[in-house]
Chains A and B, each alone.
Chain A
Amino acid sequence: MSLRIVVTVKYVPDATGDRHFADDLTVDRDDVDGLLSELDEYAVEQALQISENADDAEVTVLTIGPEDAKDALRKALSMGADKAIHVEDDDLHGTDAIGTSLVLAKAIEKAGYDLVISGMASTDGTMGVVPALVAERLGVPQVTLLSEVSVEDGTVTGRRDGDTASEQLQAQLPAVVSVTDQSGEARYPSFKGIMAAKKKPVESWDLSDLDIEAEEVGLDGAWTKVEDATQRPARTAGTIVKDEGEGGKQLAEFLAGQKFI
Chain B
Amino acid sequence: MAEVLVYVDHLDGAVRKPTLELLTLARRIGEPVAVALGNGAADTAATLAEHGAVKVLTHDAAEYADYLVVPKVDALQAAHEAVSPAAVLVPSSAEGKEIAARLALRIGSGIITDAVDLEAGAEGPVATQSVFAASFTTKSRVAKGTPVITVKPNSAAVEAAPAAGAVEALSVTFSAQATGTKVTSRTPRESTGRPELTEAAIVVSGGRGVNGSENFSVIEALADQLGAAVGASRAAVDAGWYPHTNQVGQTGKSVSPQLYIANGISGAIQHRAGMQTSKTIVAVNKDAEAPIFDLVDYGVVGDLFEVVPQLTEEIKTRKG
Q: A164-B188, A235-B295 are in contact. Are A249 and B196 (CB under 8 A)?
A: no
Q: Across the interface, which residues of A come within 8 angstroms of B94, CB to CB?
A: 128, 145, 162-163
Partner of A225, one of B137, B141, B180: B141
Q: Are B136 and A232 in contact (CB under 8 A)?
A: yes
Q: Are A251 and B68 in contact (CB under 8 A)?
A: no
The B contact surface, by secondary structure, is mixed
Is the C-beta of B28 less than 8 angstroms from some C-beta in chain A?
no
Q: Which of A35-75 contact B (CB under 8 A)?
A: 39
Q: Are B182 and A232 in contact (CB under 8 A)?
A: no
Q: Are A166 and B187 in contact (CB under 8 A)?
A: yes
25 contacts between A and B (CB under 8 A): A15-B250, A19-B133, A127-B114, A132-B102, A141-B180, A142-B69, A145-B94, A168-B183, A169-B68, A169-B183, A171-B181, A222-B143, A223-B145, A225-B141, A238-B296, A240-B288, A241-B298, A241-B299, A243-B300, A246-B310, A247-B300, A248-B313, A249-B314, A252-B315, A261-B315
Partner of B98, one of A132, A232, A260: A132
- The CA-CA distance from A222 to B259 in the complex, in Å, is 37
Q: Across the interface, which residues of B come within 8 angstroms of A223, CB to CB?
A: 104, 109-111, 142-145
Q: Across the interface, which residues of A come within 8 angstroms of B250, CB to CB?
A: 15, 123, 126
Pick out which of these stretches binds chain B: A81-89, A95-103, A109-117: A95-103
Q: Across the interface, which residues of B come within 8 angstroms of A228, CB to CB?
A: 138-139
Q: Across the interface, which residues of B come within 8 angstroms of A224, CB to CB?
A: 110-112, 140-143
Q: Determine how close the nearest CB of chain B comes to the CB of A45; give it in whole angstroms.
A: 15
Q: Are B139 and A240 in contact (CB under 8 A)?
A: no
Q: Are A229 and B318 in contact (CB under 8 A)?
A: no
Q: Are A164 and B302 in contact (CB under 8 A)?
A: no
Q: Which of B34-77 contact A (CB under 8 A)?
A: 68-70, 73
- The CA-CA distance from A255 to B202 in the complex, in Å, is 12
Most buried by A among B130, B181, B300, B310: B181
Q: A96-B110, A223-B104 are in contact. Are A15 and B314 (CB under 8 A)?
A: no
Q: A239-B298, A243-B301 are in contact. Are A129 and B184 (CB under 8 A)?
A: no
Q: Are B307 and A238 in contact (CB under 8 A)?
A: no
Q: Across the interface, which residues of B come within 8 angstroms of A166, CB to CB?
A: 186-187, 189
Q: Determine how close the nearest CB of chain B comes to the CB of A131; give it in whole angstroms.
A: 8
| Chain A window 200-236, contacts with chain B (Cβ cutoff 8 Å), 1 for yes, 0 for no | 0000000000000000000000111111111110110
Q: Across the interface, which residues of A come within 8 angstroms of B104, CB to CB?
A: 98, 223
Q: Across the interface, which residues of A come within 8 angstroms of B171, CB to CB?
A: none
Q: Determine how close the nearest CB of chain B comes to the CB of A225; give it in whole angstroms.
A: 5
- The CA-CA distance from A15 to B135 in the complex, in Å, is 11
- The CA-CA distance from A127 to B97 in the complex, in Å, is 8
Q: Across the interface, which residues of A come within 8 angstroms of B110, CB to CB?
A: 96, 98, 222-224
Q: Are A232 and B183 in contact (CB under 8 A)?
A: no
Please name the 6 residue pairs, one residue from A and one from B, whose CB atoms are nearest each other, closest first: A243-B302, A248-B310, A223-B110, A141-B180, A129-B101, A252-B314
